[in-house]
Chain A
Amino acid sequence: MTTMAFDILLQGLLLGGLYALFALGQSLMFGVMRLTNTAQGDFIILGAFAAIAGLMVLPVWAVALGLLPLAFGFGYLLQRHVLNGTLGRDPLPSLVVTFGLAIVIQNGLLELFSADPRSIETGGLNTRSIALGGDSAVGLLPLLILGCAVAATAALQWLFGHTRLGRAFRAVSDDREIAELMGLDARKLYALATGIAFVLIALAGVLQAMRTTVSPADGPLLLLFAFEAVIIGGMGSFWGTLCGALLLGLTQQIGFRLDPGWGIWAGHLVFLAVLVLRPQGLFPKTKG
C-alpha cells in the first residue's frame, strides 16, 4: 500500500514537472504584461515540430544549440511587432490575436506535417529508469524533465529577484507609466520577457516530443494544463506556478489510478475547487 502511494506521489510529481514547463512561459508573460497567451499550447507544439524538422536536415548538436536562441529571437520579434500592438486597458485584442495565431499554427502544422503523431528519437533515454528498491522505479527522462522545471523556476525567480533586468520587469509590471518616467522602455522589456518565455516554450515542446508523441492538434490541451497550473499556483509567482503544476500532476495521477478515464477530470476538479475557494491561487504575487 505504501509503495503504491509512494509510486503515485512520484509519478504525479514527475508529470507535474512537465506541466510546470508548459506553464512557466505563460506565467512570465502574464506576470510582466498581463498578457494571456491563448496560443501557449500551440507554440509548444510548434517548438516540438521545429526541433523535429530541424533534426531531419541538421545534426543533433546543431539543433540542440540553435533551437533555444532561435526561439528567443522569434518570441522577441513576435512581441515587438505583433503582440505589443494588442496591449492596453482592454484584454480582448491580445486574446483574439493569440487565439488567431493558435488557429494559424495548428493548420499550418497540419498542412506541413499531416496529422500523424511524431516524436523525437532519444536513443532509448525515454525508456530507461532507475530502480528505487521494491517495485518502484523512476524514469530517467521524466526525472530530467522535473529537474529542468525546478531549474527553470529557480532561474526565473533569481532573475526577477536579484537582477537589474528582473527589477525592471517588476517595475513595468507594477506601473508602466511611472516605469517609463524612470527611463525604461516598456516595449523592449515586454519583447525580452516574451523572448525568455519562448525559450521555455521551445524547451517544453522538445521534452514533450521526447517523452511522448506530438501532433498538430495537441496544443489546446497543453494550454489548458498550463492555464490550470498558473491559476492554481497564483498569477505571477513562479514558485506558485511550479507548485500549481505539481499539484495538477499529482491530482491527475491519483485520478488515473482510480479509473483510467478520471485523470484529467480530477485535475479539472482541483482547478475548479481552487477557483471557488481561493480564486487568487495558492501563492499569489501579482497585485492589482
Chain B
Amino acid sequence: MLTTSALTARYGDAQALFRIDFELAEGELVAIIGANGAGKSTFLKSLTGLVKVAREQVMFRGETIGGLPPGEIVRRGIALVPEGRRLFPSLSVEENLQMGAFAGRGGPWSLQRLYALFPILHEKRRLPATSLSGGQQQMVAIGRALMSNPSVLLCDELSLGLAPVVIKEIYDAMPAITAEGMTVVIVEQDVATAQRVSRRLYCFQEGRVSLQGASGMLTREQISQAYFGIEAAA
C-alpha cells in the first residue's frame, strides 16, 4: 500500500538517503533498524512530508504523495509518532490527544478507546503532558498519532530513553493497535526488540538499505554486518 522507489532525500546540506526502495503491505508490522545517522528518522520524515522529496518517489494507495504538506499526508492516513515524542508542553494530556484528531479522519480510535488502551492517561488527562513520566509521554505520543485514525502508523524510536520494563509495556500495546489491520512501521535501535515484534525488517546503513528480509529468518551475523558495515565485519 505504501512504496518508495529510489527515494532520495537531503537533510540540511548533506544527502541523507540514497535511492531507498521500500515496500509496505496492508496490515504488516515492519521494523527499520540501523545505527545513529543511518537515515531512519529522515526516511520517516520524508514519508510524512516533514522532509521534502520528489512527488513520484513516494506512492500511497496508488497516488503519488512525495513532498506533499504534512497536513495533507496525515489526512490521507499516514501518521507519525515523532522521535523524542515532541508533545505540546502547554497542552494537557487530553488536549495533546485532541490535537491528533485535528485532521478530522473518522475511524475506530477515539479518546474513550485510547483511555481503554492506556488507562493511566485517563487518570492524568488534565495534567500538562510533559509532567508525565517518559513512558507515559510515549503513550500520549502514540495516542496522539492514533487519534488521526491513520491506516499507516509510523513510530520513530519508541524506546528512546526508556527503561526496558517500560519499553516492554509500550510494545505490549502493539497487538491491540494492529488487531484491526493497522499497518505499522517501527524504527528501533534495539535489534532484539525489532526482531521480536516485527514480521519483516529493513536495516539502514549510511542512507542505504543494507539488508531486508523476514525478521525471524535473519541471523545475528547478517544483521550485525548490515548494521555496522564492513569495518565491524572485518
Contacts and interface: CB of A to CB of B under 8 A. Distances in A.
Interface of A: 167-168, 170-171, 173-175, 177-185, 285, 287-288
A178 B90 contact: no
B20 interface: no
B61 to A, nearest CB: 18
B137 interface: no
Given A167-B91, A171-B91, A285-B90, A181 B98 contact: no
18 contacts: A168-B99, A170-B91, A170-B95, A171-B99, A174-B90, A177-B50, A178-B82, A181-B49, A181-B50, A182-B71, A182-B102, A182-B144, A183-B102, A183-B104, A184-B71, A184-B102, A285-B90, A288-B89
A110 B69 CA distance: 45
Contacts of B88: 170-171, 174-175, 178-179
A39 to B, nearest CB: 27
Contacts of A168: 99, 102
Contacts of B80: 181
A105 to B, nearest CB: 33
Nearest to A185: B71
B74 A181 contact: yes
B82 A287 contact: no
B75 interface: yes
A183 B71 contact: yes
Interface in B72-109: 74-75, 80, 82, 86, 88-91, 95, 98-100, 102-104
Interface of B: 48-50, 69-71, 74-75, 80, 82, 86, 88-91, 95, 98-100, 102-104, 144, 148
Given A178-B82, A182-B99, A182-B102, A170 B71 contact: no
Contacts of B75: 183
Q: Which of B70, B82, B90, B95 has the most CB of A within 10 A?
A: B90
B154 to A, nearest CB: 11
B90 A181 contact: no
A287 B91 contact: no
A125 to B, nearest CB: 40
A248 to B, nearest CB: 25
Q: Which of B69, B74, B88, B91 has the most CB of A within 10 A?
A: B88
B86 A178 contact: yes
A78 B159 CA distance: 44
Contacts of A182: 71, 74, 99-100, 102-103, 144, 148
Q: Which of A170, A173, A178, A184 has the most CB of B within 10 A?
A: A178
B11 to A, nearest CB: 14
A167 B103 contact: no
Contacts of A288: 89
B193 to A, nearest CB: 25
Contacts of A175: 86, 88
A167 B95 contact: yes
Contacts of B70: 177, 180-181, 183
Contacts of B95: 167, 170
A125 B49 CA distance: 57
Q: Which of A177, A178, A179, A181 has the most CB of B within 10 A?
A: A181
Given A167-B99, A168-B102, A181 B89 contact: no
A183 B73 CA distance: 8
Given A181-B48, A181-B70, A184-B71, A287 B102 contact: no
A174 to B, nearest CB: 4
B71 A174 contact: no
Contacts of A180: 69-71
